[in-house]
Amino acid sequence: MTPCEVCALNRPMLSVRHHNPDWHPNQLKYEPGEALQLDVLHSTVLSRFGKFRYHLVCVRIISGFVFDRPLLSTGTDDFIVAINSIKTQLKLEFNITLKLLIPDSASSFKEVDRLTRWKIENNCRISPFAPYLHEYNKAENYIRLLRNGAVTRLHALKGASVGGKQLVPEEYFPDAFRHTGETLNQGASAFFARTHGRWMPPRQILGLGETPVLHPFGAHVTIGLSKGMNNSEREVNALGNSKTQLKSIAGLFLCSAT
């Protein structure tokens, strides 16, 4: 069998027997950022902020850029909220329109009326993986990388305290999860190097979006306060001292705000 263009680019990493005409055209017809593979991680611990237990992981099939969004449940409503958030970030940060979502074949997101309406309103296809294409879902591999990276990062919070209160590292799993994702987004993409002959980080592949500052997870940082944040009423509530004018506060770095 003559290999297609994608098979030829992936040699010698993948043999021709991995070729599948139902999947490889997606890697040729969509531009970086227009198609996302997705899967869900079930966490064993509720997060401190938001009480999230699930994490939606979306990976762009060309650049390898990874999004993660915490979910309260795997229901359709929460899924739509998370995808709308990712869709908006794509448009605002990189001026890219989402055109294809590729969930796992065993996805919890059912094809209900609300999801059908969303697809029509947003002109976006949802094409689940067939069982025999399970190995092509990059999101599964990224979930393993993100989970392992997050668990490693949580060790930095052991014994740490803020405001005299001891932190429970496991409750900050979503922050460590996102920190790991941004680390991957700022690192070079091996897939892109193999298929395009250039070593570039996923963020750079997609365009000139602003690169978030990334400190080590749990690092001690000092945050400067603007005049709007530094007022007597807030200081009375926080410190009980209305005459103290703060210029900065100390804290621990968890993840970027973007």
Same domain, 37 and 132: yes
pTM for the model stands at 0.74
The per-residue pLDDT for 87 is 93
For range 241-250, the mean pLDDT: 60
Same domain, 230 and 119: no
Same domain, 56 and 124: yes
What is the count of structural domains for the chain?
A: 2
Average pLDDT, the chain: 76
**Residue 19 located in a structural domain:** no
Phi and psi at 49, nearest 5°, equal: -105, 115
**Residue 15 located in a structural domain:** no
The predicted-structure confidence for 12-42, as pLDDT tens digits, reads as follows: 554 544 555 555 555 557 777 888 888 898 8
**Residue 258 located in a structural domain:** no
Q: Which domain holds residue 248?
A: 220-252
Q: Please report, for the domain that includes residue 183, its CATH number.
A: 3.30.420.10
36 strand-pairing partners:
60, 101
Q: Answer whether 49's CB lies under 8 Å from 176's CB.
A: no
